[in-house]
Each structure stands twice: as structure tokens, then as C-alpha cells.
Structure 1
Amino acid sequence: MGDSVEVKVVTTDAALHFYDPKDVLAEVLTDQHEWNAWKKMSDPVMHIQLRNWADMFIICPLDANTLAKVAQGLCDNLITCILRAWDERRPVIVCPAMNTNMWNHKFTAIHLSTLTDVLNYRVILPISKLLACGDLGVGAMAEYRTIVDEIKEQVELLNANNA
């Protein structure tokens, strides 16, 4: 694997509640960036540009809302529009994170099945620990090292396929 990768962060407005984009050492893009970039028919469309640029798409964390949207094929924000236009030959890794009750809900199993069995996405399962809501249980995003190891494995596969 090479020494560096280029990362762009695409975030939902709701996710901005949890972090400040100024603290991120990468370009952070929101829905507003897409709409600000597009004024007329000949202008570039950001979700298509990002789809064409990226070799891999990682949703980390994947909340229950975005999981449901992706599984149903909805595309009402920058993230879901990129995925709806995504080249299915390129890997997608998702890292679910949600309350234990949401994780155990039947819809979650149905939606994850769509992502894995239909869309061929890689799912890094959540772990059990104290959650943001104060509950203790399964639903916390996997440890970062687990996620990084999966990303490295996918990069190596991409490099081997492009060699």
C-alpha cells in the first residue's frame, strides 16, 4: 500500500452536531457545497464528480437513518446521491453506529441484508460498550483500528486489481 491516500469528508448536517469541520485535516463537504456549485445545466454536479473521483466510499459512522435511506435507494443528500450514482465495481465500507434498540430492530437486519446481499457493501459490525445515549450494549461503531485494517485490505485489493 502506498504511503498516502487522499480523503474527502462528506457529512450530513446532522453529523455536524458531533464535530467541527475545522478540526478535520481534510476537505469537508456538505449538501450546501453541492447546491452552491451548481447554478445552471452545464455546471458540474458534485455528487457525480465525487463518484468519479473516489476509488472507495466509506460511511463511518452509518446511522440508522442513512442506513434506511441507502437500503431503499433514496438520494436526498450528498452522501446518498453519491451512493446512488456509485460504480458498483468499487468498494463501499459501512460502519454502523446506533442505539442497541435500533441495532436490534428488524428493519436494521433487513436494511443490512440489502447492503450486503444486493449492493455487495462491506459491513464492519458495531461493538458493545457505553453508547452516547447512556445505554450499555451493541451499537457503538467499531474501533478505529478495525476500520483502518479493513480499509487497508480494500486498498490492497484495489492496487492488485489495477496492477
Structure 2
Amino acid sequence: MARIILGVTGSVAALRTPTLRAALRADGHAVRVVATEAALKFFDPADLGPPDEDDALRLGGPLYRDADEWAFDRWRRDDPVLHIELRRWADLLVVAPIDANTLGKFALGLSDNCLTCLFRAWEFSRPVVLAPAMNTLMWDSPVTRRHLRLLLEDRGDGGPPGPWTLDEATAVFDRHAPGLSLVAPISKRLACGDVGAGGMAEVPEVVSAARSALGRVGRPGAID
């Protein structure tokens, strides 16, 4: 069993957060959810179920939000820093869905909430899985390719020398940044009414990607 942080951002696909957490737990993992404030517009934290038994950071449910990072009146030396404590705990970071805004923040190194601070502070000997979800034109934008290339430069070998398409993105990440997996969005009728690529991959596919990512690194620090 491994320890997984499930990052959730402001996409309609965040509706599936309770289902995805349940599926990861059914696969044998301890799962804490780190959600942006926008993500909380799409699911009820009460639907996440109870925290895992080893969750000693808090007495409530398994959800961590930006307010928890600042849940003190005045910081004192040696007080825990939430995103660092979460990083130390986790074997794997899964961000599903990752919206266009957070993808851009990850690529540019911006860290203005708990989740982006966690990614910026992540120890990249431990794997990361990203499952994008956004409008089709947002996904097809050249900005998306630029941000993906930046991630490949920072966390891989820079990617292939020639051009590649978004249809090839998952394979490109597998070859050139094995510690950073991309679960490409699927084509469907989106919540906005547009039809095309941009829907988050189905829950079993995300769980499978998490399983594969852990297998590639031998589950460092996994729970016995």
C-alpha cells in the first residue's frame, strides 16, 4: 500500500473526486485530498468518506484546502508547514483533474495555493501523475503545448527534438519524463456543450496510471 496525495483543481471533472478517492483506496492506498478553492465548487467534502487511519495531521476528514495552510493565529518557529508535511508523507502525487490554470502554474513554477506549493516543493524521485481536463480549445491551444514542454524540460530530458502533437503527449512523457506521467484527456461532449478532447480520463484509467507510476519506482517509502 502506498500513500497518495490526490490534487484536485477547478474543473467540472472534480465532480468525480469522491469516486476517484474511493477507487484509489480500493486499490489499497491511503489517500489525502488537496483541493483548490475552485475545485470545492464541484463536490461535497462530506462525500469523501473518513480519513485513513494513519492521518495524524488532523482529526477531521481527508480533505486539505488552502485555509488549512494558514490555520494558525501567528506562526511560531518549528510549527509544521502543511504542504511540506504532505510532501514528506506521500509516495505519489496524482492531480486529477488538473485544469488549464494549474497546469500553467505548475509549468511556470507559480505557487500561490497549497497544491501549487506542494508541487513546487515536491521531491521528484517520487512520481507524479497529471490528468488534464479543460475545454477542447483550451487543450488544443499552443499555450498547452508550451506548458507541457516546460514540464518536460524541468522534469525530463526536454522531450523529442522535433515537433509532436497533443495526441502523442502521453507517449512523449512516458519516454522523456518517466517520473511525470500524463493521462491525456478524452473526447466527449463536455459540460460546456462543446464536443471534443478535454474530458478527464475515466477513473479506472487514472487509477491504472497511479499503479504503473508506483510500479516504475518500486513504491519508495510505501506502507507495509
Q: Secondary structure at the match of 1:128?
A: strand
> 1:23 aligns to what?
47
1:139 equivalenced with 2:198 (yes/no): yes
Do the aligned partners of 1:116 and 1:122 also contact (CA within 8 Å) in 2?
no
Q: Which amino acid aligns with 2:107?
A: A
Note the C-alpha offset of 1:71: 0.3
Tell me how large the CA RMSD over aligned residues is. Answer: 1.9
Shift of 1:41: 2.8
The 5 A counterparts of 1:65-144 are 65-119=101-155, 120=177, 121-144=180-203
8 Å CA contact retained: 2:98, 2:131 = yes
Structure number with higher relative contact order (C-alpha < 8 Å, ≥ 6 residues apart): 2
Residue 51 of structure 1 corresponds to 87
Deviation for aligned residue 1:160: 6.5
Q: Percent identity?
A: 45
> Number of residue pairs matched?
163
Specify the alignment match of 2:170 in structure 1.
none
Structure 2, unaligned stretches of length 5 or more? 3-26, 52-61, 156-176
**Letter paired with 1:29:** Y
Deviations 1:31-61 (A, max 9, x none): 1011105732321000110111100101000
**Equivalent residue, structure 1, for 2:54:** none
CA contact (8 A) 2:91 2:219 kept: no
2:217 to 153, 158, 161: 158
SS at match of 1:36: coil
**2:42 is the alignment partner of 1:33:** no
Shift of 1:162: 7.0
Following superposition, the deviation at residue 94 of structure 1 comes to 0.3
Unpaired segments ≥5 residues, structure 1: none
Length-normalised TM-score, structure 1? 0.92
The CA deviation string for residues 88-128 of structure 1, in whole angstroms up to 9 with x for no partner, is: 11101000000001001111011112223422321100000
Cα distance in 2 for partners of 1:41, 1:99 equals 44
